[in-house]
Structure 1
Amino acid sequence: MGVTKASATEAEYATPLPDPNQEGRDGNGSKDIAASFLAKNVAGQRISITPAESARVLRRIDTVILPIMLTVYFLQGLDKTTLAYASVFGLIEDTGLAGNQYSWLGSIVYLAQLVMQPPLAWLLVRLPIAKFTSTMVLLWGISLTCMASAHSFGGLLATRFFLGVFEASVAPSFVAITQMWWRRREQTVRTSYWYAMNGFTNMFGSLITYGLGHISSQLRSYQIIFLFFGIITVAFSFVMLAFMPDSPVEAKFLNDEDKLIAVERLRMNQMGVVSREWRNDHLKEALLDPKSWLWFALLFSISIPSGGISTFGPLIVKTFGFDPFGTILFNIPFGFVQLVATVGGAFVAQKIKMKGPVIAALCLPPIAGCVMLMVLPRDVSHRAPLLAGYYLISVYPGITPLVYSWASQNTAGDTKKKCTNAILFIGQSVGNVVGPMLYSQTEAPGYAKGLRSNLALYIAIIALVGITTTYLRVLNAAHAKRRVAMGKSAVIVDTSLDSAEVAAAQQTGDDVDKNTRNAEEGDVAAASNEDVERPGERAFENLTDLQNEEFVFVF
């Protein structure tokens, strides 16, 4: 790393730092914590970082931060699906659940998460994110443990509600943490990693549950399941509290030089790190921004099928003619397909630098799976094709982390990011509340209403992808016109989606071609290298994506 007067030939992140004595250009002096950190350590100069230095710090971040996130999300997936596992071990019969009561146990978690999203947006801006999330993990583990003592619908409903209240922070926190630690290119795959833990849940959770179900005890099998996973969650909350830092600036596992690199490598994201200052203008913009509601619609549409299948999936498999242990074991391939679709979809999106087409493509297998489950008879002779249809549906989880990434990578400004996440997860919560309600035990074994609604929503997602992509292109064209009006170049070289080597070549002007420029084809005329704007000066001024004319929207 060099802290020098930058020249035109320096590496990827050689960009000017904000003047520590200058107020934020939005006029109120509000800046990101990264701006203060850089101004204090290298005031008035530029930092040049080589691809090798960036890769070294990235490995450190991946080694410390990622395993904690993976474990917590794995436990969250286990904790939510314990209800589905318990249902095949006699929970419904022992507690006298009738009518839609089991469906309500699936929905109440997401209803609680829905209620929690608005206050969470404020809390995630104002509080140290790692300490706050660790506390929530502890409390949801306690809630799950208490489910073992619930013997009626009322008791189960209460404990499931508190489980949802405390779990509500995890996904929004993890989206914010991913934005805080990784470049835009890296975020898509990292998001897929922690979200793919749902696939591990369906695989290893099924195996663990299979083993727990064979334990001979005075406790019922489902009580053992609740206790086992609850106690593990409580224990790991202390691990997270001890090792997860609240930001790159506060990371104990990085030395001072590595902290500078960790912050500076995020500059091209144009999204900042964290401010811990609530901004009402950011809240207003998030509410009025059409993008926010497109993300809401996308996540709502995929969460209805998700909520229904996650609650009723094992029961659907049971209608194929399997006993409880066979049902659990045949749910394992569902998790494997989910894992492959989630991580594979993210790698494809990273490769082509677009998420919209991948989301649309991932809708096609579930469409085929829904049709198969709707038309095939439920008998022993059709078990194989019925399972194939069920496993095709299991591709759908790959869509959700791509929507997370798509939304987060097109939003800037600390408060706006948290508020947009709240809108996003309200959509997810509403969808997950509605999803189980579309399935009813009285409609077994066909579950026609649930499958028909899921089929329609997968088609709707494809249409929403087209609308969202078109709108992002319009925004990029508008930003290009603003830059021209300000005397800047219309074309922005956005290296945040490129590898370190490609980004470094672009920063030095080597082999910068039209294919690597993140500009609007047809809307922005091709420019020579001399006309290209290399952004980053405003990256840590806590500006929103609409305020910062240098922000480039990605598809």
Structure 2
Amino acid sequence: MAEPLPTEKMANSPEKPFANLDGRQASVSNSDVGVTTVVDLVDADEALAFLTSHPNATEIAIQGNAILDDPKQLKKLIRKIDFTIAPLLAAVYFLQFLDKTTLSYTAVMGIRKDTHLVGQDYSDLSMLFYIGFLAAEFPTQYLAQHISRLGLYLGTNIMLWGLILGCHAACTSFAGLAICRTLLGVFESCVAPILVLIIAMWYKKEEQGRRVSWFYVCNSLTQIFGGLLAYGVSFAKTDFASWRIFFVAIGAMTMVIGLLVCIFLPDSPVKAKRFSDVEKVAALLRTKDNQSGTQNAHLKKAQVLETFKDPRVYLVCLCTLLSSIPNGGLSNFSSILLTTFGYSSREALLMSAPGGAVGVICVLGVGYLSDKWRDRSSVMLICILPTILGAGLMIGLDPNGVPKNRAGLLAASFLTGTFGAAFMLLLAWNASNIAGHSKKVTINALTLVSFATGNILGTQTFQAKEAPGYISGKISIIATLGALCFVVLVLRWWNDMLNKKNKVALEGMSEGEKEEMREKMAFADQTDRKNPFFVYTH
């Protein structure tokens, strides 16, 4: 009989069933690889402390592995994770996108007249949301890491921004709206990075693209819901302006969802109250091959510094910036553009629904394909190209704001809804390609800083003086997305290069040594660049 590998010996030890995952144990040393493991549980992922310190470690190890070995039980566990996580994440993202785009709907409901907005005031209000977002991004992410209660922290922020959204209804001037928009950006800034962290904790890499699409698709669903709701509210016959009713209704709904998130969204697999200890173990062991862990509440300066030294980080940020410039323009001017094509204000609100449907199909399809093919970059290119075509058609069919073909322009506006899936894939890329909790927090913050910066620039590409043609805004869409295609290909090449480098680095180790070290690195809270077993998704 063949001699069992070191990991098999430790895994079969009844006294210490998780010893093979403990980086504090004696480990293989190989100077050519340069692998480091943890020396203290404080430095490790919280999952390691849970697994190695549990009083009933032997029992839960046996039962947890039994779940993983039984396809029916495993499917049941994944379904439980999905129903616990996905609906809340979807609701949060639905409201985040709806809340920040309420200004676009109310722009054709009378808010500009009632609050005396002139010239660039509307574009400036759109920009101020992202100014607040940008200023708060780093502080809010590091605060969330320190508190390590992601569900509670996220839910509290949601309730606060719901309150701020309701306050929009009381505004009578640019100044009041400016304060509200800035604060709205501050409280919404925590959402996407926290959602990415949660997806990375609970799901395998090959499952993450589809799960990210489940909440990101809500961007498109809000176009359907928001447009139809705004259309219905526009018929309200009261002394209270319809746009004010819209803000109050959406704000109240947001606060309710925030409360539900505080109560029901688990902070991590280790802290999930609805899951038994056995289910927690199964969930953790199921994703250990990601080599990215769950959480660590301690900010590690070395990981933060590594983030700023990693060239891929800047490529991801550049991709985010380039994809966000069109978003900043289209998300705030989509309804206005439809009126320039010859549709009435109410028709413009109604036309948001089919555009949202196009986005739904694109996002879900892209999420599915990126997991099935295990290829983010190729799928990203597929969803960018139709938007470039749509922007070109809007220029050709609407020269100088004189529409030549209203139906063609409507179809072109629907095509511009496909590019949103590119940012969704960038979020999935971060979830799959970054390890080390402090590094994940830092790159997620940098990504969202780039997102906010791009959106700020995007709101200014649509100049009031160029109405109704808005030629600069349409040209910027083609230019930025064309550049994005090139950068995506560079990032794909870089990830492939790092995978080859890791394979070469491991060539000096035996299979037994590789397996032992791979297990120890799973919950060591090491960065992807410090872990030669980490596999990058291209």
TM-superposed deviation, 1:247: 1.1
Name the amino acid aligned to 2:133.
Q
Provide the C-alpha distance between the structure 1 equivalents of 2:275 and 2:389, rounded to a whole number of angstroms.
Answer: 48
Instruction: Verify the 8 A CA contact 1:15 1:536 in the aligned structure 2.
Output: no
Report what 1:220 is aligned to. Answer: 241
TM-score calculated relative to the size of structure 2: 0.90
Report what 1:538 is aligned to. Answer: 521
Instruction: Verify the 8 A CA contact 1:17 1:38 in the aligned structure 2.
Output: no
Provide the C-alpha distance between the structure 2 equivalents of 1:181 and 1:323, rounded to a whole number of angstroms.
Answer: 46
Instruction: Verify the 8 A CA contact 1:20 1:36 in the aligned structure 2.
Output: no
Provide the C-alpha distance between the structure 2 equivalents of 1:15 and 1:384, rounded to a whole number of angstroms.
Answer: 63
1:159 corresponds, among 167, 176, 180, to 180
Instruction: Verify the 8 A CA contact 1:17 1:43 in the aligned structure 2.
Output: no
Write the mapping of 1:181-220 to structure 2, written as runs, cut at 5 A.
181-220=202-241
Write the mapping of 1:13-28 to structure 2, written as runs, cut at 5 A.
17-19=20-22, 22=25, 25-26=36-37, 28=39
Report what 1:38 is aligned to. Answer: 51
Q: Does 1:433 align with 2:471?
A: no
TM-superposed deviation, 1:218: 1.4
Provide the C-alpha distance between the structure 1 equivalents of 2:456 and 2:20, rounded to a whole number of angstroms.
Answer: 46
Write the mapping of 1:470-489 to structure 2, written as runs, cut at 5 A.
470-485=493-508, 487-488=509-510
Name the amino acid aligned to 1:374.
I
129-138 or 14-23, which moves further after superposition? Answer: 14-23
1:111-146 CA distances to partner (integer Å, 9 max, x unpaired)?
111111111231122111111001100110010011
Write the mapping of 1:32-181 to structure 2, written as runs, cut at 5 A.
32-41=45-54, 42=57, 48=65, 49-50=68-69, 51-127=71-147, 128-181=149-202
Report what 1:369 is aligned to. Answer: 390
Provide the C-alpha distance between the structure 1 equivalents of 2:19 and 2:373, rounded to a whole number of angstroms.
Answer: 30
Report what 2:33 is aligned to. Answer: none
Provide the C-alpha distance between the structure 2 equivalents of 1:284 and 1:270, rounded to a whole number of angstroms.
Answer: 20
Instruction: Verify the 8 A CA contact 1:112 1:164 in the aligned structure 2.
Output: yes
Instruction: Verify the 8 A CA contact 2:435 2:527 in the aligned structure 1.
Output: yes
Going from structure 1 to structure 2, the CA distance change for 1:335 and 1:16 (only over 3 Å counts) comes to farther
Report what 1:295 is aligned to. Answer: 316
Give the 3-state SS of the residue equivalent to 2:270 in structure 1.
Answer: helix
1:230-249 CA distances to partner (integer Å, 9 max, x unpaired)?
01111221111111111111
Instruction: Verify the 8 A CA contact 1:15 1:537 in the aligned structure 2.
Output: no
Report what 2:482 is aligned to. Answer: 459
Provide the C-alpha distance between the structure 2 equivalents of 1:19 and 1:464, rounded to a whole number of angstroms.
Answer: 39
Instruction: Verify the 8 A CA contact 2:23 2:524 in the aligned structure 1.
Output: no
Name the amino acid aligned to 2:122.
Y
Write the mapping of 1:299-318 to structure 2, written as runs, cut at 5 A.
299-318=320-339
Report what 1:270 is aligned to. Answer: 291
Name the amino acid aligned to 1:19.
D
Instruction: Verify the 8 A CA contact 1:76 1:167 in the aligned structure 2.
Output: yes
Provide the C-alpha distance between the structure 1 equivalents of 2:24 and 2:413, rounded to a whole number of angstroms.
Answer: 60
TM-superposed deviation, 1:399: 0.7
Report what 1:251 is aligned to. Answer: 272
1:410-453 CA distances to partner (integer Å, 9 max, x unpaired)?
10001000001011111101001110100022212211101111
Instruction: Verify the 8 A CA contact 1:248 1:259 in the aligned structure 2.
Output: yes
Provide the C-alpha distance between the structure 2 equivalents of 1:340 and 1:176, rounded to a whole number of angstroms.
Answer: 25
CA RMSD of aligned residues (A): 2.3
Instruction: Verify the 8 A CA contact 2:11 2:20 in the aligned structure 1.
Output: no
Give the 3-state SS of the residue equivalent to 2:208 in structure 1.
Answer: helix
Name the amino acid aligned to 1:552.
V
Instruction: Verify the 8 A CA contact 1:114 1:430 in the aligned structure 2.
Output: yes
Going from structure 1 to structure 2, the CA distance change for 1:232 and 1:382 (only over 3 Å counts) comes to same
Report what 2:422 is aligned to. Answer: 399
Give the 3-state SS of the residue equivalent to 1:453 in structure 2.
Answer: helix
1:179-225 CA distances to partner (integer Å, 9 max, x unpaired)?
11111111111111101101110001111111112122111111011
1:224-281 CA distances to partner (integer Å, 9 max, x unpaired)?
1110000111122111111111111111111121111111111011100011111000
Provide the C-alpha distance between the structure 1 equivalents of 2:405 and 2:515, rounded to a whole number of angstroms.
Answer: 60
Q: Does 1:547 align with 2:536?
A: no
TM-superposed deviation, 1:175: 0.8
Name the amino acid aligned to 1:40.
S
Instruction: Verify the 8 A CA contact 1:17 1:39 in the aligned structure 2.
Output: no
173-182 or 46-55, which moves further after superposition? Answer: 46-55
23-32 or 439-448, which moves further after superposition? Answer: 23-32
Name the amino acid aligned to 1:409.
S
Provide the C-alpha distance between the structure 2 equivalents of 1:350 and 1:445, rounded to a whole number of angstroms.
Answer: 41
Report what 1:420 is aligned to. Answer: 443
Provide the C-alpha distance between the structure 1 equivalents of 2:193 and 2:238, rounded to a whole number of angstroms.
Answer: 39
Write the mapping of 1:350-369 to structure 2, written as runs, cut at 5 A.
350-369=371-390
TM-superposed deviation, 1:21: 5.2
Going from structure 1 to structure 2, the CA distance change for 1:488 and 1:277 (only over 3 Å counts) comes to farther
Q: Which runs of 5+ in 1 are unaligned?
A: 490-529
Provide the C-alpha distance between the structure 1 equivalents of 2:182 and 2:91, rounded to a whole number of angstroms.
Answer: 23
Give the 3-state SS of the residue equivalent to 1:546 in structure 2.
Answer: helix
Instruction: Verify the 8 A CA contact 1:130 1:241 in the aligned structure 2.
Output: yes
21-30 or 438-447, which moves further after superposition? Answer: 21-30
TM-superposed deviation, 1:20: 7.4
Identical positions, percent: 31
131-140 or 442-451, which moves further after superposition? Answer: 442-451
Provide the C-alpha distance between the structure 2 equivalents of 1:334 and 1:204, rounded to a whole number of angstroms.
Answer: 11
Provide the C-alpha distance between the structure 1 equivalents of 2:519 and 2:488, rounded to a whole number of angstroms.
Answer: 29
Q: Which runs of 5+ in 2 are unaligned?
A: 1-6, 28-35
TM-score calculated relative to the size of structure 1: 0.87
Give the 3-state SS of the residue equivalent to 1:412 in structure 2.
Answer: coil
Q: Does 1:261 align with 2:282?
A: yes
Give the 3-state SS of the residue equivalent to 2:21 in structure 1.
Answer: coil
Provide the C-alpha distance between the structure 2 equivalents of 1:101 and 1:415, rounded to a whole number of angstroms.
Answer: 39
Provide the C-alpha distance between the structure 2 equivalents of 1:27 and 1:254, rounded to a whole number of angstroms.
Answer: 28
Name the amino acid aligned to 1:429.
A
469-478 or 18-27, which moves further after superposition? Answer: 18-27
Instruction: Verify the 8 A CA contact 2:37 2:520 in the aligned structure 1.
Output: no
